[in-house]
Structure 1
Amino acid sequence: MLTDEQQALKPNNAKMSARDVNVFYGAKQAIKTVSIDVDMDNVTAFIGPSGCGKSTFLRTLNRMNDTVANARVEGDITLDGENIYAPSMDVVQLRARVGMVFQKPNPFPKSIYENIAYGPRIHGLASAKADMDVIVEKSLRRAGLWDEVKDRLHDSGTALSGGQQQRLCIGRAIAVEPEVILMDEPCSALDPIATAKIEELIHELRGRYAIVIVTHNMQQAARVSQRTAFFHLGTLVEYGVTSDIFTNPKADRTRDYITGRYG
């Protein structure tokens, strides 16, 4: 049963919903009874001090924790009402629908073109080169990178600047037509100019995909998100409209974190 506050926040078009999620690494509990909705209309930011569980929880949303031998997830997480931890769920297809962009840009050691084409080829989204060309151009345009690389598509993706590499990774995620994009501190390794381009891109992608971003940078959360969730010691302390979280938080722990008393 949702609390009144959760019901008020629950979007009409929730794309993903988590209910009473607990995450364990062996005997250690990293996430404690987290419930939250992610919708298509708003960018959702996860904030909190290092080790608070925000990245761990993000990874539950496309089952990246499956790759950790002693990890265990309890509770319900749904995508369009379907339990993503059900035995019948195809994890490869899930990760195509729920893409991930990591903290450090990680382009494949392939050409710019092949970085984008890899996913669509694996998933059979293009039957001819002309179709693939369209997907590559569209994905790079959506990632705000096309004009910078259109004349060197066969150069290595690893030769790009850090900010360009991160946009390439976003383009790679977009290429398989995801419904959700998870971003785990996507700007932490970038300079301010590259960071500004990523933030502008997030604004442009809003509404086309459900977007969740983990960030240590509270100013960034305030700039790019419309909903903010504050994590502390594995718990979801407060979740609400971003402007309310930063100007009128309900929880003392949220207020202390935002005012710099810890973190």
Structure 2
Amino acid sequence: MADAIAHEETADPFADAGPAKMSARNVSIFYGDKQAIDDVSLDIHTQYVTAFIGPSGCGKSTFLRSLNRMNDTIASARVKGEILLDGEDIYRSRLDVVQLRARVGMVFQKPNPFPKSIYENIAYGPRIHGLASGKAELDQIVEKSLQRAGLWDEVKDRLGDSGTALSGGQQQRLCIARAIAVDPEVILMDEPCSALDPIATARIEELIDDLRGRYAIVIVTHSMQQAARVSQRTAFFHLGKMVEYDKTSEIFTNPREVRTKDYITGRYG
């Protein structure tokens, strides 16, 4: 009985996390008649990097894209339930989606720098959102963003060069710097290392660790090793459902659900 009570008292993996930055409540996502996500509820906190894992086609990227309404670009997509940012529903009518995506940035699987200079890749967002009062302030934002992305020392003498001329790993860090430049609160990463070599992957993982606590970070990854390295909380998705959400250490060493254990141990996926 005492063991049961102790387990119950420590069952909440977010008890020390304070208010959630984002919350999903009973979220289901459909593409036409096909249901891709079924009744998912979870909280995302700034203190933790949160990883979404699961086999291909399980819905983890679909759910990630719903967190900044990227699914709006697909005509057949519809979302039921609530997704809250600081307690406000991001799917409410008349929401400024452009402003939402500044607050909740996205880094995609394949690096996608603009066909502009390195400087303009970073300056574009702050300029259109009115975050800089002049060239000097814009210069500061560019430098600060590149520094936070661990790229400044590599590109500071060639800011006029095209962003597409950088290596794959540098391009991905440029895209992270571009997301940071508009002062977001949440950064979503959809398999950001899948197209990168091991050295570039290690740099991105170091960067994620450096950024933790400054932004709420959510990463979708096919690599369980990566999830174990970079995250503190992990959600396991399977067939459109969130099977389990817990401390990363618990998910990988002591999962509660049989399906989670089977996936972690390589029995499917």
Q: Which TM-score bucket, shorter chain as reference?
A: over 0.9
Unaligned runs of 5+ in 2: 1-7
Equivalent positions of 1:103-118 (< 5 A) are 103-118=109-124
Shift of 1:127: 1.7
Instruction: Check if 1:227 corresponds to 2:233.
Output: yes
What letter corresponds to residue 257 of structure 2 in structure 1? A
After superposition, what is the alpha-carbon deviation per residue over 1:80-111, rounded to whole angstroms, capped at 9, x for unaligned?
00100001311000000000000000000000
Equivalent positions of 1:28-43 (< 5 A) are 28-43=34-49
Match in the other structure for 1:133: 139
Shift of 1:36: 0.5
For residue 12 of structure 2, give the secondary structure of its aligned residue in structure 1.
helix
Shift of 1:8: 1.7
Q: Give the Cα separation in 2 of the matches to 1:39 and 1:72.
A: 25
What letter corresponds to residue 143 of structure 1 in structure 2? A
Instruction: Check if 1:51 corresponds to 2:78.
Output: no
What letter corresponds to residue 149 of structure 2 in structure 1? A
Match in the other structure for 1:257: 263
Q: Are the counterparts in 2 of residues 44 and 229 from structure 1 also a CA contact under 8 Å? A: yes
Q: Give the Cα separation in 2 of the matches to 1:5 and 1:64.
A: 38
Q: Are the counterparts in 2 of residues 13 and 40 from structure 1 also a CA contact under 8 Å? A: no
Shift of 1:7: 8.0
1:86 corresponds, among 87, 92, 110, to 92
Q: Give the Cα separation in 2 of the matches to 1:53 and 1:5.
A: 31
1:9 corresponds, among 7, 10, 13, to 13
2:250 corresponds, among 238, 244, 248, to 244
Tell me which moved more, 11-20 or 74-83. 11-20
User: TM-score, normalised to structure 2's length?
Assistant: 0.95
2:203 corresponds, among 197, 200, 221, to 197
Q: Give the Cα separation in 1 of the matches to 2:131 and 2:110.
A: 27
What letter corresponds to residue 58 of structure 2 in structure 1? C
After superposition, what is the alpha-carbon deviation per residue over 1:114-162, rounded to whole angstroms, capped at 9, x for unaligned?
0000000010111210010000000000000000000000000000000
What letter corresponds to residue 249 of structure 2 in structure 1? S
2:105 corresponds, among 83, 95, 99, to 99
Shift of 1:5: 9.5
Structure 1 vs Structure 2 CA RMSD: 1.2
Q: Give the Cα separation in 2 of the matches to 1:91 and 1:128.
A: 26
Match in the other structure for 2:5: none
Q: Give the Cα separation in 2 of the matches to 1:142 and 1:86.
A: 33
